[in-house]
């Protein structure tokens, strides 16, 4: 019996695609210039079916690449080793919104925004808020420990995952954690899986913490004449003693790409950089007061103006511009994104260094990101100087490595939220010692002794 036939016996007919069928959507994520074809795509519909698929792959020694929505930016779900793509898009149910305990129980294929909306209907709040929330899956967020806009106040995905059901490469099903707010009973298997990029196990169910829904939100937009000054403004915001629910930085080129893609005008589009600050709280008066204090602090350090958006429609317009920057870059440029992160106080130094790196390599530089977390998405854009593919690849790789080295030297890391996958793997040793990498290899071997799960990712 052929592999597709054996897989179809597990999942039922209609849920297995071979190379002769339309598998192109499963060959790539949002990483430019990276794609690979699997031998077969399988779409299981339950934990039991996932277990059956993995057991078969384990017995045959076949590589398996778990996949969510494919919105990642580091190639973590690209089947670089061929074999089986295990798509989790059919596992897309919200199993429970538990209002009494403030938890959601979901399958990995649930779209993040769908979960947010379901929680809000129950008067609750699911805080993780990636820019791609309208298309990305909760399972992908778990596997990359996604952060997003509101991580500055509410933390990353890991801070909201309290329980997981996951399947080991040999088909063994494990349940870890649950709805307990405290659980000090052995090694932290949940935290080990979160951020592992599908290299250790396949998640099929998650128990996620929910919070009370904020009663009010407000947004402040502040333009600056220099990007350095906007970076300095981040510290000024926190100097007020207020923790914003979001604090984003955007340079002029980022705003330009977003406005062009969204076909919308954006306030202060000619400013060198802007800060987008969101505050939430118990009522409009509290939120407005906090925004006023933040606005005064930003004006004191050189903001050109301050614009407050209290109406929900205007807030959504401003957030849309921020959320589509990456789409604008993808539509109108050739670029390489470097998901750099440093301690918040070192953001100014990082901003200066990446512009120096861009100039040294004859590249344009487009910067935006979660400034409140010190998480800057540095995008090196191809120019006329890269007149061949070979020159482009050489220049951008050199700039990429230089950025990683600068971030690490400033006390930061390789990736803030996008993960390692394929694109950051060559730089892993810049951040981690041989001893640390050796320990990670032993963890990988304990979970996946045959090395079938998402091979070619994360570890060098």
pLDDT in tens, 402-411: 999 999 999 9
Domain 333-420+427-431 has CATH 3.30.70.1060: no
Under CATH, which architecture does the 94-212 domain have?
2-Layer Sandwich (3.30)
Minimal CA–CA distance to 337: which of 300, 376, 371? 376
176-211 pLDDT, tens digit each? 999 999 999 999 999 999 999 999 999 999 999 999
State the architecture of 216-326 in CATH terms. Answer: 2-Layer Sandwich (3.30)
Say what the pLDDT of residue 25 is.
Answer: 93
Q: What is the pTM of this model?
A: 0.94
Q: Which 8-state DSSP code applies to residue 214?
A: P
Q: Is 66 left (phi over 0), alpha (psi -120 to 50) or beta?
A: beta
Which ranges in the chain are annotated with CATH 3.30.43.10? 3-87
Mean pLDDT to the nearest integer, 446-450: 98
Is 82 in contact with 38 (CB distance < 8 Å)?
yes
335-383 residue pLDDT tens:
999 999 999 999 999 999 999 999 999 999 999 999 999 999 999 999 9
**pLDDT band at residue 219 under the 50/70/90 scheme:** very high
Task: Report the pLDDT value the prediction gives residue 428, as an integer from 0 to 100.
Answer: 96
Give pLDDT tens digits for 225-265. Answer: 999 999 999 999 999 999 999 999 999 999 999 999 999 88
d(CA 130, CA 41): 27
Range 78-99 average pLDDT: 97
Question: Strand 16-18 relative to strand 40-42: parallel, antiparallel, unpaired?
Answer: antiparallel
Task: Name the DSSP class of 111.
Answer: B
> Could you tell me where in the chain the CATH 3.30.70.2190 domains are found?
216-326
Q: Where in the chain is the domain with CATH 3.30.70.2740?
A: 333-420+427-431
């Amino acid at each position: 019996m052929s592999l597709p036939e054996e897989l179809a016996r597990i999942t039922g007919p209609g849920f297995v695609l071979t190379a002769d069928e339309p598998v192109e959507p499963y060959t790539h994520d949002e990483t430019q210039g990276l794609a690979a074809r699997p031998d077969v795509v399988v779409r299981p519909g339950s934990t039991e079916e996932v277990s059956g698929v993995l057991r078969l792959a384990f017995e045959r020694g076949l590589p398996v690449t778990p996949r969510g929505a494919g919105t990642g930016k580091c190639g973590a779900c690209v089947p670089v080793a061929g074999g089986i793509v295990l798509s989790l898009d059919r596992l897309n149910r919200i199993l429970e919104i538990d209002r009494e305990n403030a938890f959601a129980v979901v399958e990995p294929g649930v779209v993040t925004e769908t979960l947010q909306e379901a929680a809000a209907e129950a008067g609750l709040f699911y805080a993780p808020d990636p820019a791609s929330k309208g298309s990305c899956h909760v399972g992908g967020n778990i596997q990359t420990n996604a952060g997003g806009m509101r991580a500055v106040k509410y933390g990353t995905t890991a801070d909201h995952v309290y329980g997981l059901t996951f399947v080991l490469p040999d088909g063994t099903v494990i349940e870890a954690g649950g709805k307990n707010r405290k659980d000090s009973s052995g090694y932290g298997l949940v935290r080990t899986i979160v951020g592992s990029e599908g290299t250790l196990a396949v998640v099929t169910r998650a128990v996620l913490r929910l919070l009370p829904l904020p009663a009010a939100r407000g947004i402040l937009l502040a333009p600056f004449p220099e990007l350095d000054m906007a970076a300095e403004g981040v510290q000024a915001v926190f100097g007020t003693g207020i923790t914003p629910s979001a604090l984003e930085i955007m340079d002029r080129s980022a705003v330009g790409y977003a406005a062009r893609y969204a076909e919308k005008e954006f306030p202060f589009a000619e400013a060198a950089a802007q800060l987008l600050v969101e505050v939430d709280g118990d009522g409009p008066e509290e939120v407005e007061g906090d925004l006023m204090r933040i606005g005064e602090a930003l004006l004191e350090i050189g903001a050109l103006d301050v614009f407050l958006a209290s109406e929900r429609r205007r807030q959504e317009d401003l957030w849309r511009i921020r959320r589509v920057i990456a789409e604008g870059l993808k539509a109108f440029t050739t670029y390489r994104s470097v998901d750099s992160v440093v301690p918040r106080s070192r953001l100014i130094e990082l901003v200066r260094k990446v512009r120096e790196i861009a100039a040294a390599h004859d590249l344009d530089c487009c910067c935006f990101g979660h400034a409140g977390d010190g998480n800057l998405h540095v995008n090196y854009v191809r120019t006329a100087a890269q007149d061949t593919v070979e020159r482009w690849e050489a220049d951008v790789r050199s700039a990429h490595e230089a950025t990683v080295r600068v971030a690490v030297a400033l006390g930061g890391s390789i990736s803030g939220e996008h993960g390692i996958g394929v694109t950051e793997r060559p730089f892993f040793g810049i951040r981690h010692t041989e001893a640390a990498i050796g320990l990670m290899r032993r963890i990988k071997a304990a979970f996946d002794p045959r090395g079938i799960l998402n091979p070619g990712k994360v570890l060098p």
